[in-house]
Amino acid sequence: MNIIITGAGKGIGYSLVLKCIASAKEGDNIFAISRNIDQLLLIREHACNFHAIKCDITNSLQLNHAIDTIKKQCNEIDFLINNAGCLINKSFNEIEIEDIDKVFDTNFKAPFLIIKELYGLLSRSKIAHIVNVSSMGGFQGAAKFAGLSVYSSSKAALVCLTECLAEEFKSSTIKVNALCIGAVETEMLSNAFPNYKAPITSEQMAEFIFQFTCNNGRYMNGKVIPVALTTP
């Protein structure tokens, strides 16, 4: 198993890293990408080849360096989880161009570029599966909330990209699916909905995402799946 997880420094991403390490075998490669890798560097005992890569995925130089690091370590990638996300909670009339750029660069542009740059490594795997972690805010017909217009729009763009790439890659071994996550107990949720208590922990959601990533690429492609008990 060679797997890449973005947004791996905390929340769902960090829990995903721990799950991957617990399930990894000798020779597996786990690449954990995050702007802050302090917590990742505390991980010591593992059978696999664990790589904590400090990278702001919206910074082209840092992203290129991270991609080069991955390419030097392995010849193929089995799983890519685009988990990193950015949320700005502002009313529509308060949103600045800089806010739009920041959110879309993280939630849409970076996953697009990561997939593009890693296509060669992914295409070499017989079980390649890209999982884009979207949001119920980007799921058509789901409840929408004031202050989250940019965030929800960016996650909807990621959903559309998922469907487009499933068609683009149809002749390859690569499968692409999106999970639209509902309320999960994370720092991002607290920023959007202060004092709200989510019914699902980051560890529980990470378990679901991990199992979906490893197993469901063989059964589905281009699917957009809501994963939510509540949307608050």
Q: What is the mean pLDDT of residues 69-83?
A: 97
Boundaries of domain holding 150: 2-227
Asked if residue 232 is part of any domain, the answer here is no
Asked if residue 91 is part of any domain, the answer here is yes
DSSP-assigned letters across all residues of 23-38? H--TT-EEEEEES--T
Q: What is the pTM of this model?
A: 0.94
CATH number at residue 205: 3.40.50.720
- Read off the pLDDT of residues 20-55 as tens digits, 9 standing for 90 and up: 999 999 899 999 999 999 999 998 777 789 999 999
Task: Evaluate whether 111 touches 82 at the Cβ level (below 8 Å).
Answer: yes
**52 forms bridges with which residues in the sheet?**
32
Asked if residue 205 is part of any domain, the answer here is yes
What's the token pair of residue 184?
């999960």
CA dihedral 34, 25, 131, 74 (to 10 degrees): 70
- Read off the pLDDT of residues 143-190 as tens digits, 9 standing for 90 and up: 899 999 999 999 999 999 999 999 999 999 999 999 999 878 777 767
Confidence of residue 230 (pLDDT cuts 50, 70, 90): confident
Asked if residue 17 is part of any domain, the answer here is yes
Strands 29-34 and 2-6 turn out to be: parallel
Task: Evaluate whether 138 touches 159 at the Cβ level (below 8 Å).
Answer: yes
Question: Which single residue is written with the structure tokens 């993280």?
Answer: 106
Give the chain's domain count.
1
Q: Please tell me the predicted confidence (pLDDT) of residue 179.
A: 98
Q: What is the DSSP letter of 230?
A: -
d(CA 74, CA 61): 21
Q: Please tell me the predicted confidence (pLDDT) of residue 185.
A: 76
Task: Evaluate whether 159 touches 139 at the Cβ level (below 8 Å).
Answer: yes
The DSSP element (H or E) to which 18 belongs, if any, is: helix 11-23
Asked if residue 31 is part of any domain, the answer here is yes
In 10 A of CB 188, how many CB atoms? Answer: 19
Cβ-proximal residues to 161 (8 Å cutoff; 6+ apart), any chain: 108, 111, 112, 132
Q: Please tell me the predicted confidence (pLDDT) of residue 103.
A: 98
- Read off the pLDDT of residues 82-139 as tens digits, 9 standing for 90 and up: 999 999 999 999 999 999 999 999 999 999 999 999 999 999 999 999 999 999 999 9
Q: Please tell me the predicted confidence (pLDDT) of residue 189.
A: 65
b/e map of 149-180 (b: 16 or more CB within 10 Å)? bbbbbbbbbbbebbbebbeebeeeebbbbbbb
Strands 49-54 and 79-82 turn out to be: unpaired
Q: What is the mean pLDDT of the chain?
A: 93
Q: Using the predicted structure, report yes or no on whether residue 232 has a pLDDT greater than 70.
A: no
